[in-house]
Amino acid sequence: MTASAGRILILLALLVSAAGAMAGFAAGRSGSAAGWRVTRGLAYAFAALMAAANGLMVWALLARDFSVSYVAHVGSRSIPDWVAFVSLWSSLEGSILFWGLVMGVYVTVATRANRDRHPEYMPYACAVWLACGTFFSFLLAGPAQPFLTVPNPPPDGPGPNPLLQNHVLMIVHPPFLYLGYVGMTIPFGLASAALLRGRLGQDFLRPLRNWLLLPWIFLTVAIVLGAWWAYEVLGWGGYWAWDPVENASFLPWLTATAALHSALLTERKGVLKGWTVTLVLASFLLTILGTFMTRSGVFNSVHSFTQSAIGPTILGFLALALVWSVWLLATGIDRFSTEGRLEGAASRDGMFLANNLLFVLFTFTVLIGTVFPLVVEATKGVQMSVGRPYFDRMAVPIGVALLLLMGVGPALPWGRATAAQMKAALLPPLAGGLLAAAVGAALGVRQPWTLVALSFGGYTAQVTLRELWRPVARRRALGAALGEAVLDAQVRRGRRRAAAYVVHAGAALAVVAIAVSSTMGTSKELQLREGDTATVGAYTLTFVKAEELREPHRSALVARIHVARGGRDLGVLTPRMNQYESQREPVGTPAVRTSLFEDLYLSVMNIDPGQGTLGLLAMVNPMVAWIWGAAAVMALGGLAALVPSRGVAPAAVRAGAPSPASSRVPAQG
């Protein structure tokens, strides 16, 4: 009953989205307002149907209705309700269903916000969105059906993968990831519309930019949440292993960041429209590639869902989307008008180009590294690996170069600069760089790359602070009070600019924190008996006892460890090994004590309460919490940039049609 209702909803969603896509393309060609209205209605209907299907599934999961195939697959009577709710996205079919929900919400908001604007673009954009919606509905109706009827419903189910029940971050990481991934569909549609029209006007750049920024924020948070989750759950003490699925989430982030910068250049100078649009299209295409990598079973990964028939279908859609994008670019790119000119390399324009070069290079490198084993397999039949050592070797120079660029770029002026201007812009922040390097060296940093990262970080920090201060100083020079100056410069008028610098500050902090945490940690493998004491870093660990713990859905072997530092008692940490009923292998949960400057990380390697022995991996990881904090800063900066700044209202200037001689457009900070 529930299963059939779900199937009907999905089928309707498929029909509605297909109809909406066709209506949108027709409305775009004919320019009919009625056609646009119909398209909008179909878009809202698609969203409503997806929401209903998801609601039905959540109800079935909570009610433990094992007649629904997905519930029989991941549901269980012995799991708490919040786990049952979260299992909506824990396995393949449910995750596609959730994808549909997020897409419906995005399409609704984007359509509604623009229902009276950009009439020459919107029907096309909506059509493209609904075409993507059609594909995902098709997946749900065909290869990845969550609502199959189970003829003899079992009394109980296996529950979701235990790794996914281990930590609260599992609740938040996938939704953010979907908000980021699915969100890239919206700018894809907008960019497609621009290419179909052969125009990308200034007015349309704004929604394109904003609808790229929103998923970018979610994706930034999602990637860092994934790293945080891996750190807190997997027990090897690191947060990024360049696993194919981690790379899948990272690739669209890289191109989207490049696109955001390119869009800024397009907005300022009216150049590089085709390139910006290419990057936007690439960001979406990489999310489809990423979905394929996660679900097809082709890649050997920590993260892979089970192999299924869904792979070829997604590959087919990827092929379609790729060909569509290439065709659009080939036919549309020459129709874009170039309205301005770039300055040469030694200006901020040139630095934007350098930014794009580095981000695209980064994308290319990560993509090549991830796909290369497949190439070798297909051509030579040899199985080989491209692992962390390769990616680290490539990522470090690029990351450090980007860190420097975040300082040099904003320091340089927009136009062609004289030698004196360049000296005045580029030399003073060296002080910040030297200071940071000196502090690092004093604290024991000896690795060359880490010192370089620290010095570049200090340089960039000084530039960023200086740029944040400049508009405030200018207003103060004109007589404003400090508070008023800050409010006006950073909150009222220059919000986008200030927000961008906040994001840069967060990014610089993240790069430096990653550099320090990867190179300045200590780690020890300890074999302890009950009562033994050991030291790692500045911490003294005492293994008190190993005990067994029973919980409703799992049993655990817990090691109680007293932690002290410098004589001060810091409490008890309890890393554990969990044994879930449905799994043969136990799953370890590390214990992490986070403080401002470092984490104490304890992970159980082997434990025996009967003998009172413990094999413990003890690590001190510096500056890890700063990575999570930096990501929050980036996200907040991004959100601040989304809120529109109060610019010069055209209506205020219009009264009396002033002549150009008497009116002045205020200078931007």
Interface positions, 589-618, toward other proteins (CB under 8 A)? 603, 605, 617
Shortest distance (Å) from residue 630 CB to other proteins? 24
Q: What angle do CA 456, 457, 461 make, to 5 degrees?
A: 120
Q: Is 432 near other proteins (CB under 8 A)?
A: no
Q: Is 642 near other proteins (CB under 8 A)?
A: no
Residue closer to other proteins by CB (options 326, 643) is 326
**541 in Cβ contact with 552 (< 8 Å):** no
What SS3 string covers 356-404?
Answer: HHHHHHHHHHHHHHHHHHHHHHHHHCCCCCCCHHHHHHHHHHHHHHHHH
Q: Is 326 near other proteins (CB under 8 A)?
A: yes
Instruction: Write out the DSSP string of 548-614.
Output: EEEETTEEEEEEEEEEEETTEEEEEE--EEEEETT-SS-EEE-EEEE-SSEEEEEEEEEEETTTTEE
Residue closer to other proteins by CB (options 378, 667) is 378
Q: Which of residues 335-374 bind other proteins (CB under 8 A)?
A: 335, 337-345, 350, 353-354, 357, 360-361, 364-365, 368-369, 371-372, 374
Q: Is 647 near other proteins (CB under 8 A)?
A: no
- Residue 149's DSSP bridge partners are 68
Residue closer to other proteins by CB (options 28, 94) is 28
Q: Which of 65, 93, 232, 243 binds other proteins (CB under 8 A)?
A: 243
Shortest distance (Å) from residue 239 CB to other proteins? 11
Q: Which of residues 88-107 bind other proteins (CB under 8 A)?
A: none
Q: Is 646 near other proteins (CB under 8 A)?
A: no
Which token pair is 176? Answer: 């953010």
First to last CA, the chain: 62
Shortest distance (Å) from residue 319 CB to other proteins? 5
Q: Is 659 near other proteins (CB under 8 A)?
A: yes
Q: How many CA atoms does the CB half-sphere of 574 hold within 13 Å?
A: 10
Q: Is 334 near other proteins (CB under 8 A)?
A: yes
Distance CA 71, CA 391 (A): 39
Q: Which residues of 410-430 are buried (b: 16+ CB within 10 A; e: fewer)?
A: bbbeeeebeeeeeeebbeebe
Q: Which of residues 104-133 bind other proteins (CB under 8 A)?
A: 116-117, 119-120
Contact characters 370-409, other proteins, x per CB under 8 A: -xx-xxxxxxx-xxxxxxxxx--xx---------------
Q: Which of residues 29-48 bind other proteins (CB under 8 A)?
A: 30-31, 33
Shortest distance (Å) from residue 359 CB to other proteins? 10
- Helix 92-113 to helix 33-62 angle, to the nearest 10 degrees? 150
Residue closer to other proteins by CB (options 357, 632) is 357
Q: Which of residues 198-217 bind other proteins (CB under 8 A)?
A: 198-199, 202-203, 206
- Helix 273-295 to helix 310-332 angle, to the nearest 10 degrees? 170
Residue closer to other proteins by CB (options 503, 556) is 556
Residue closer to other proteins by CB (options 312, 531) is 312
Q: Which of residues 284-313 bind other proteins (CB under 8 A)?
A: 289, 292, 296-304, 307, 311-312
Q: What angle do CA 448, 452, 453 make, to 5 degrees?
A: 115
Residue closer to other proteins by CB (options 88, 310) is 310
Amino acid at 408: V
Which token pair is 22? Answer: 């066709």
Q: How many CA atoms does the CB half-sphere of 433 hold within 13 Å?
A: 18
